[in-house]
Amino acid sequence: MTINTQLFDRARAVIPGGVNSPVRAFKAVGGTPRFISRAQGAYMWDAEGARYIDYIGSWGPMILGHGHPAVIEAVQRAVTEGLSFGAPTEREIELAEAILALMPSMEMVRLVSSGTEAGMSAIRLARGATGRKRIIKFEGCYHGHADALLVKAGSGLATFGQSTSAGVPEEVVQHTLVLEFNNVAQLDEAFALHGADIAGLIIEAIAGNMNFVRATPEFARRCRELCTQHGALLIVDEVMTGFRVGLGGAQGVLGIRPDITVLGKVIGGGMPLAAFGGSRAIMEQMAPTGPVYQAGTLSGNPVATACGLATLKEIAKPGFYEALGAKTQALVQGLQAAADEAGVPFCTEHEGGMFGFFLLPELPRNYASVMKSESAKFNALFHGLLDRGVYIAPALYEAGFVSAAHTDEDIAATVAAAREVFAKLR
Ligand SMILES: *Cc1c(COP(=O)(O)O)cnc(C)c1O
């Protein structure tokens, strides 16, 4: 029995499924999860000492790679000053100022501890600020596991969503309308029917939880126009894309101005930190200045803010995203060439340090078409790469991440591994 198998058995005895977040369990791809013992730069090592080139990067935060010296130093200094105070600190102001300086649509920001918390609070804020109940989300977009957002489409536009999780009463999701991503006609129809009742529309403008699917410019523009026309708030969930696809996030790439932006992942640099923000008028609806309640014992934690600040300082340096984008492009081009050589249907997407690939002849535009991928083929690719020391996300509906620590050699080694696996996939 391998060490990873032993650890998985032990874990399953005391933690449901052996993991503290479901996708880590390898349920979609089968096999035994690797228990990671340490990471440095672009690499992670498992409990057996096997090394992997890491394209998950803790699901997005590790944009500088693991153990960046400036980040580690900032965290070590913060730790010696105190782990948590439950009182305001100057570092929270510094991080807020740094975020606002980089995101022109935000005038004020509230720091929280997870993307789920930030998304949930953004929904409450939209409802509180508009005095309305209904929200729109899109199939395939993930906004954390708050009750009102664990929803799939009901039958037709007149019926609201059905919960995707046990333990969420239908009353809780009855105000959530789930629409198809990139379907302008359906969006128009939904606003025509329900516009006066819609508090907010929440979207991943570059969706990273159905692999990688970009909102078309027309669709993104229509989301903005319809929210403005009907007095609903546009919430852009940039937990994954914020400071990942570029300094201005997906809203910068697509040229849309949200009313509320949700951030996480990169802004914590690997520590539990997330945020939501928008205009002063909207954000002042939050307690203690306004009637919308939200709070957190560890919000704005001094170690997490030190980690986030040090990370933001590095990524704001000139040329950072050009270099990162070039690496990501080299990776997806190499993978495409390897797949083409082997005659495997394949296509890719990328922006900044985020990429997606599909075992499909053309890029999907929505969740249903992403799910046409053959999962058996993906699973073979996943395990083939893992066996060759390349760690991609263990599910075909996840995006991938390149960090500043990935070298040309790492990318060449990844492409070489993929070439071997593709040859067997045909
Ligand atoms: C990861 C993610 C979340 C949830 O963040 P957690 O920190 O895992 O709670 C929300 N929205 C998007 C777009 C995400 O990618």
In this prediction, the residues of the chain whose per-residue pLDDT falls under 50 are: none
Based on the domain organization, do 325 and 311 belong to the same domain? no
Based on the domain organization, do 279 and 343 belong to the same domain? no
Q: With b meaning 16 or more CB within 10 Å and e meaning fewer, what string describes 71-108?
A: beebbeebeeeeeeeeeebebbeebbebbeebbebbeb
Instruction: Report the separation in Å between the CA atom of 57 and the middle of ligand 1, taken as the mean of its atom positions.
Output: 14
Based on the domain organization, do 340 and 201 belong to the same domain? no
Provide the CA 98 distance to its chain's centre, in angstroms.
20
Does the beta carbon of 143 sit less than 6 angstroms from any atom of ligand 1?
yes
Give the CB-side neighbour count of residue 327, counting CA atoms within 13 A: 26
Provide the pLDDT for residue 426.
Answer: 74
Provide the pLDDT for residue 374.
Answer: 87
Give pLDDT tens digits for 24-45: 999 999 999 999 999 999 999 9
Q: From the alpha carbon of 274, which atom of ligand 1 is closest?
A: 7
Does the beta carbon of 116 sit less than 6 angstroms from any atom of ligand 1?
yes
Based on the domain organization, do 63 and 74 belong to the same domain? no
Based on the domain organization, do 272 and 364 belong to the same domain? no
- Select from 283, 315, 347 the last residue of a domain: 315
Based on the domain organization, do 295 and 408 belong to the same domain? no
Which ranges of 208-349 would DSSP assign to H, the alpha helix? 217-230, 249-254, 280-283, 302-315, 320-342
Instruction: Report the separation in Å between the CA atom of 39 and the middle of ligand 1, taken as the mean of its atom positions.
Output: 22
Provide the pLDDT for residue 84.
Answer: 98
Based on the domain organization, do 151 and 287 belong to the same domain? yes
Provide the pLDDT for residue 18.
Answer: 97
Provide the pLDDT for residue 71.
Answer: 98
Q: Which two tokens stand for residue 244?
A: 């990942």
Q: What angle do CA 101, 309, 247 make, to 5 degrees?
A: 45
Provide the pLDDT for residue 155.
Answer: 65
H-run or E-run covering 74: helix 69-81
Instruction: Report the separation in Å between the CA atom of 212 and the middle of ligand 1, taken as the mean of its atom positions.
Output: 15
Instruction: Report the separation in Å between the CA atom of 116 and the middle of ligand 1, taken as the mean of its atom positions.
Output: 6
Based on the domain organization, do 49 and 188 belong to the same domain? no
- Give the number of domains in the chain: 2
Q: What angle do CA 45, 350, 255 make, to 5 degrees?
A: 130
For residue 117, give its domain range: 69-315
Cβ-proximal residues to 107 (8 Å cutoff; 6+ apart), any chain: 100, 277, 278, 279, 280, 283
Q: Which two tokens stand for residue 121?
A: 């609070």
In whole angstroms, what is the distance from residue 62 CA to residue 67 CA? 9
For the domain that residue 354 is a member of, what is the CATH number?
Answer: 3.90.1150.10
- Select from 269, 291, 315 the last residue of a domain: 315
Candidates 20, 141, 204, 239: which one to mutate for ligand 1, based on the most atoms within 8 Å of Cβ? 239
In whole angstroms, what is the distance from residue 210 CA to residue 202 CA? 15
Provide the pLDDT for residue 204.
Answer: 98
Instruction: Report the separation in Å between the CA atom of 209 and the middle of ligand 1, taken as the mean of its atom positions.
Output: 9
Q: Is the distance from CB of 320 to CB of 364 less than 8 angstroms?
A: no
pTM for this entry: 0.97
Based on the domain organization, do 291 and 177 belong to the same domain? yes
In whole angstroms, what is the distance from residue 41 CA to residue 63 CA? 10
For the domain that residue 99 is a member of, what is the CATH number?
Answer: 3.40.640.10
Q: Which residues are catalytic?
A: 142, 237, 265
Based on the domain organization, do 122 and 149 belong to the same domain? yes
Based on the domain organization, do 21 and 83 belong to the same domain? no
Based on the domain organization, do 106 and 50 belong to the same domain? no
- Select from 315, 345, 370 the last residue of a domain: 315
Does the beta carbon of 209 sit less than 6 angstroms from any atom of ligand 1?
yes
Candidates 21, 120, 141, 142: which one to mutate for ligand 1, based on the most atoms within 8 Å of Cβ? 142
Does the beta carbon of 261 sit less than 6 angstroms from any atom of ligand 1?
no
Does the beta carbon of 208 sit less than 6 angstroms from any atom of ligand 1?
yes
Q: Is the distance from CB of 130 to CB of 232 less than 8 angstroms?
A: yes
